Amino acid sequence: MNSPSYIGRFAPTPSGYLHFGSLVAALASYLDARAVGGQWLMRMEDLDPPREVAGAQQAILRTLESYALEWDGELINQSQRHEAYAQVVDRWFSQGLAYACTCSRKQLEAFNGVYPGVCRNAGHQPQNAAIRIRVPELEYRFEDRVQGVFAQHLGSDVGDFVVRRRDGLYAYQLAVVIDDAWQGITDIVRGADLLDSTPRQLYLQELLGLPQPRYLHLPLITQPDGNKLGKSYRSPPLPTDQATPLLVRALRALGQPTDDGLEYASPKEVLGWAIKHWNADLIPRTRHIQEAELS
């Protein structure tokens, strides 16, 4: 099989519709791939049916199509990948690398997000328990193409983290690492809200002997009150009939050049122009951009 030197992806979660912040992420990952003749794959991260909004998957795909963001190959659904995740978790469990945690929600709250390993040596059975992976007392660091060096001490900043939830659903951190490697992803371009997930992902890659992709974490588009422009804040879904002006606006958010003529161009023409002019070095080196500051 030939292995292209760049394979990127967009990996939306169907817990809501695409909003302007998702467009910025989709556009940046698309342009970064296409500018070097790379592939751009699509993966639906439908790991959490209870949080899924009915019709969101189709709406996301239709919205991307109306913005002319065409992906390569077949769409992958994480809901179809449980066997691959189960194999890894079962192996880690039998090796003692992962263990069952029966701590209640109330107990966990007292730990303020850093699990101190209470159940590490308790020998709980895996049924009706969360499965946590043991983390080493080590710092994991990487150089992000936009955000620079980012480091986290897994022991003191994160603690043993969940790879399979008590309800049997698999965790994002696990699925993303397995699937990025399975799809041959070389470059991950996504929002800076996932910057502090990356050290956990580097650790899982190391455990699984997987290659480490390059990372580019984009500034998040925030609302005036500082909230992430995300589904949980009910930001408006992207309109499908204003693709050209919104693509141009997303280009500005990414620090890319634009041209007056673009406003009369089709979405496909805007993308063609943007591929030619793409320069990732122009992306603002910040974690947040206020949406109100964008023209």
Q: Between residues 98 and 177, which has the closer beta carbon with respect to ligand GLU?
A: 177
- Of Zn ion, ligand GLU, none, which one sits near residue 88, judging by CB under 5 to 8 A according to partner kind? none
Residue with tokens 């998040």: 220
Q: Between residues 95 and 104, which has the closer beta carbon with respect to Zn ion?
A: 104
Q: Between residues 9 and 101, which has the closer beta carbon with respect to ligand GLU?
A: 9
Question: What tokens does 262 get?
Answer: 């673009």
- Of ligand GLU, Zn ion, none, which one sits near residue 16, judging by CB under 5 to 8 A according to partner kind? none
Stretch of 12-20, 99-107, 244-252, 282-290 contacting Zn ion, by CB under 5 A: 99-107
Report whether 11 contacts 190 (CB < 8 A): yes
Q: Between residues 122 and 151, which has the closer beta carbon with respect to Zn ion?
A: 122
Angle at 79 (CA atoms; ends 77, 82), nearest 5 degrees: 120
| Residues in contact with ligand GLU by the rule CB under 6 A | 11-13, 45, 176, 190, 194
Residues within window 105-164 making contact with Zn ion, judged by CB under 5 A: 118-119
- Of Zn ion, ligand GLU, none, which one sits near residue 119, judging by CB under 5 to 8 A according to partner kind? Zn ion
Encoded amino acid at 155, one letter: G
Instruction: Output b/e per residue, 46-66; b: 16+ Cβ within 10 A.
Output: bbbeeebeeebbebbbebbee
Question: What tokens does 21 get?
Answer: 């912040």
Residue with tokens 């990948």: 81
Q: Between residues 16 and 267, which has the closer beta carbon with respect to ligand GLU?
A: 16
Q: Between residues 230 and 267, which has the closer beta carbon with respect to ligand GLU?
A: 230
Q: How far is the CB of 129 from ligand GLU (least distance, A)?
A: 25
Question: What tokens does 31 get?
Answer: 């342009």
- Of ligand GLU, Zn ion, none, which one sits near residue 220, judging by CB under 5 to 8 A according to partner kind? none
Q: How far is the CB of 111 from Zn ion (least distance, A)?
A: 9
- Of Zn ion, ligand GLU, none, which one sits near residue 103, judging by CB under 5 to 8 A according to partner kind? Zn ion
Nearest Cα to Cα of residue 42 among 243, 18, 235: 18
- Residue 5's Cα: distance from chain center in Å? 21
Measure Cα distances from 174 to 55, 76, 99, 190, 203 in Å: 25, 16, 15, 17, 10
Residues that bind Zn ion (CB under 5 A): 101, 103, 118-119
